[in-house]
Amino acid sequence: MDSTDEFESYSVYIVTVQSIIIKFLTEAIKDILPDTNIEVSKDGIRILSMDPTHTTLVHMNLGATNFEKFHCTHQQIIGVNMINLFKLIKTITNNDTLALFVHKNDMNHLGVKIENSTRKASTTFKLNLMDLNNGNIRIPPAQFASVITMKSTDFQKICRDMVNISDEIEIKAVDSSLILTCKGEFAEQETVIGECSSNGISFCQTQDGKDTEKEDKGSEIIQGIFSLKYLTLFAKCTNLCPSIQIYLKNDYPLIVCYSVGSLGEIKMCLAPKHSAG
């Protein structure tokens, strides 16, 4: 954390060496939230926004202490077109350092500075900021019946395979098995994954508000039908982390949680679809 004289001219100045993670994050978000408000405070960076169709909620928190430098004079809302931001940072490589800043005398632009100390090169952009409606979204607390941990690459592959067959996927947790099914006009698919140390999948059921492992398996079925289009978009976060958490509860939105490198986490919440049958 820094608040020295070097930042006196800025209301926001943030530096990270995890520039490639910010690139992956922006690439993943841009197709779900083309325009979004980013809240910056002394605690960190936060996004809490619905997509334009009000089907998906994106909730992201990146902690201030996880950045190399983090200066913020006061809580502020920055309206950003994520598609345009990605255009500026898409050439970032692992050796680059990224700085994001807002100058006190130029509150209508987000400064983006990409530095490479090895090549002694730096590039600075000014991105036009937007005046977006700041909808007041509240997230009610919820106790999820099943929390599944699995490899992010496995989740991505299943979504990519199934989206070629159907528009919808049924996700079902029964005991220590994850069952994913879809049915289309020309084919149907069922993938069953059991708990196993080699495949990286694990289950945690909750009963009466308490976490349980295998001891209380029971036979309760937790399931929901969800849009494969949006889950495939979620899966673009795969490069952020090796494992994900899937939160399941009957008749409740599905939540898929990704770590954003070591900067924080992003949760994608998707409303269930109701089967015509």
Domain residue spans in the chain? 5-128, 146-270
pLDDT computed for residue 153 by the predictor: 96
Decide if pLDDT at 206 tops 80.
no
Q: Which residues pair with 247 in a beta bridge?
A: 147, 255
Residue with tokens 């496995």: 154
Decide if pLDDT at 83 tops 70.
yes
pLDDT computed for residue 175 by the predictor: 82
State percent of the chain over pLDDT 70.
91
pLDDT computed for residue 209 by the predictor: 46
d(CA 154, CA 184): 21
User: What are the tens digits of pLDDT across the range 135-186?
Assistant: 777 776 778 888 999 999 999 999 999 999 999 999 999 888 999 999 999 9
- Dihedral of CA atoms 112, 49, 244, 171 in degrees, nearest 10, equals -150
State percent of the chain over pLDDT 90.
75
| Beta pairing, strands 69-72 & 76-81 | unpaired
Domain with residues 5-128, CATH architecture: Roll (3.10)
More confident residue, 7 or 187: 187
User: What are the tens digits of pLDDT across the range 240-275?
Assistant: 999 999 999 999 999 999 999 999 999 999 999 875
pLDDT computed for residue 221 by the predictor: 87
The class (CATH top level) of 146-270 is alpha beta
Q: Quick one: CA dihedral 240, 129, 64, 112, positive or negative?
A: positive
pLDDT computed for residue 128 by the predictor: 98
d(CA 108, CA 88): 17
Decide if pLDDT at 86 tops 90.
yes
Decide if pLDDT at 31 tops 80.
yes
Decide if pLDDT at 37 tops 60.
yes
Average pLDDT score over residue span 72-90: 97
Q: What is the pTM of this model?
A: 0.89
Average pLDDT score over residue span 117-126: 93
| Run of H or E including 189 | strand 188-194
Decide if pLDDT at 70 tops 60.
yes
pLDDT computed for residue 133 by the predictor: 83
